[in-house]
Amino acid sequence: MKRYLPFLFILAFATQGLCQRDIGDGSQASWKDRVYVGGGAGFSGGTDTYGNKYFYIGLYPIVGYMLTQQMSTGLSLTWQHYDYTDIGVAYDQYGGAPYLRYNFGQAFMYGEYMILNSPSTDNTTRRTYNRGLIGIGFSQPVGKRGAINVMGLYDVLYKSTDRVFTSPWVFRVFFSF
């Protein structure tokens, strides 16, 4: 496992690649200039609120399309793996999230509807959960195409009884290029 940590660390910071490219002021940009792909990754580990040790890794590829210079839409996919070594439980969650982003200079509004499939607490059946995330963000350009992006999102569909999500708040930091 230790040999994978440098690779996982790099993945955690190489997120949301090729998001938001410049298509110019005219509407003559080809579809190739408007399409972007990218993705994200994350990992963590530690002890949960019940005292169980865990390891988590997630991958989040995206594909998007710039409708205008300010507005883009796309689809983000989700795969997350949890491994609770103390209690011998491992499971995967997966899903998708269509999104819409509107830029105001360096600031932007963002919304997504996430559908996530996760096992039940006894790990015998699966259930689908929904999230309605809306929020704002800020993009700080770095170089010609790169940017550091920060978002704060709130889940308008949050239910405290759905233990798959620990909070209605979601904060993301990602790089684009």
Angle made by CA atoms 105, 106, 107, in degrees to the nearest 5: 95
Question: 35: buried, middle or exposed (CB in 10 Å: 19+, 13-18, 0-12)?
Answer: middle
163: nearest Cα among 109, 59, 82: 82
State the Cα–Cα distance between residues 114 and 94, nearest whole angstrom: 10
101: nearest Cα among 142, 132, 131, 73: 73
| Sheet containing 107-119: order of strands | 35-47, 53-66, 71-84, 89-104, 107-119, 126-142, 146-155, 169-176
Q: Given this model, what pLDDT does residue 95 score?
A: 95
> Does residue 84 surpass a pLDDT of 70?
yes
Q: Given this model, what pLDDT does residue 52 score?
A: 84
70-90 mean pLDDT:
90
Residue ranges of the domains in the chain? 2-176
Q: Given this model, what pLDDT does residue 2 score?
A: 47
> Does residue 26 surpass a pLDDT of 70?
no
State the Cα–Cα distance between residues 161 and 139, nearest whole angstrom: 34
Given pLDDT bands bounded at 50, 70 and 90, which one contains residue 126?
Answer: very high
Query: Which residue in the block uniquely carries the two structure tokens 């969650």?
Result: 93
State the Cα–Cα distance between residues 30 and 41, nearest whole angstrom: 29
Q: Which residue has the higher pLDDT, 91 or 175?
A: 91
